Amino acid sequence: MNVWLTRVILDPRNPAARRDLGNAELLHKRVMLLVPDGLGKNARATSGVLYRYDDTASAGPHLLVQSLLPTNPERLPEGYGAVAVREITSFLEKLESGAVVHYRITANTAKRLGRTADQAGKVVALHGSDAEEWWHTRAAANGLVLRTSVSTSMPDIRGRGKDAVRHAVTRFAGMAVVQDVEALRRAVVTGVGRGKAYGCGLLSLAPVNG
């Protein structure tokens, strides 16, 4: 199984890029244009697409798109942004138990209320210490022992209109020790938590010495 990572450094002057960033549904459709058509009703899962919008000092505003199929940047609008594609399969294959890694994830921090709750079955957003506890639990379940964790509450991811999607979002970044390699690889490939179709759940790793 091969895994590709596509980075699109967005041009904020481009009308299509600005429009997509303001609407979660439009951004989802734009990202899915990068992979082949004809993948059926579960195209995102079939292609393994996970993505995240970031704005960092080193790269500025950009999209990271991970996929199990090669992407076609030529399907993006002219002037949308500068694109770089690389394969990360080798990095994932070389992960070892005990290795220390940097991690970064933008997660839909939410949980479904249990049967004893007043609104049983309802999905509720988690913030602050509840969101941090959510991430510590998810990280452990997915093969990471956290050494450090910095959480940042992010603006909700949302679409437009009465019934538009809306996801509460928290970004987590820090250092961790790899404990369960297979669980961690699975989490990287399939994502963590809800909201994967709308820019949540992509777990990015990098070696501490890299």
149 and 68 fall within a common domain: no
The domain boundary residue, chosen from 87, 121, 156: 87
Instruction: Determine whether 103 is exposed, middle or buried from the number of CB atoms within 10 Å of its CB (0-12, 13-18, 19+).
Output: buried
Encoded amino acid at 207, one letter: P
Find, among 69, 68, 63, the residue nearest to 30 by Cα. 63
The tokens for 115 are 């049967």
pLDDT at 209: 77
For residues 60 and 57, what is the distance between their CA atoms, to the nearest angstrom? Answer: 6
List the chain pLDDT tens, one digit each, 210 residues: 899 999 999 999 999 999 999 888 999 999 999 999 888 889 999 999 999 999 888 888 999 999 999 999 999 999 999 999 999 999 999 999 999 999 999 999 987 765 555 655 677 788 889 999 999 999 999 999 999 999 998 877 765 555 555 678 999 999 999 999 999 999 999 999 999 999 999 999 999 975
Contact (CB, 8 A) for 64 and 202: yes
Taking the whole predicted model, whether its pTM rises above 0.75 is answered as: yes
Q: Is the dihedral of CA 132, 134, 135, 136 positive or negative?
A: positive
Which parts of 25-143 are beta strand (E)? Answer: 50-56, 60-67, 81-87, 100-107, 110-112, 123-125
pLDDT at 201: 97
103 and 194 fall within a common domain: yes
22 and 110 fall within a common domain: no
Contact (CB, 8 A) for 5 and 86: yes
For residues 23 and 6, what is the distance between their CA atoms, to the nearest angstrom? Answer: 21
109 and 177 fall within a common domain: yes
186, containing H or E segment? helix 181-190
The domain boundary residue, chosen from 24, 55, 87: 87
10 and 37 fall within a common domain: yes
Alpha helix locations (H) across 12-142? 15-21, 24-32, 43-47, 89-93, 128-141
For residues 93 and 137, what is the distance between their CA atoms, to the nearest angstrom? Answer: 24
Count of domains for the chain: 2
123 and 80 fall within a common domain: no
155 and 63 fall within a common domain: no
158 and 179 fall within a common domain: yes
Residue 18's domain comprises 4-87
For residues 53 and 56, what is the distance between their CA atoms, to the nearest angstrom? Answer: 10
Task: Supply the CATH number for residue 80's domain.
Answer: 3.30.70.1200
Task: Supply the CATH number for residue 177's domain.
Answer: 3.30.70.1210
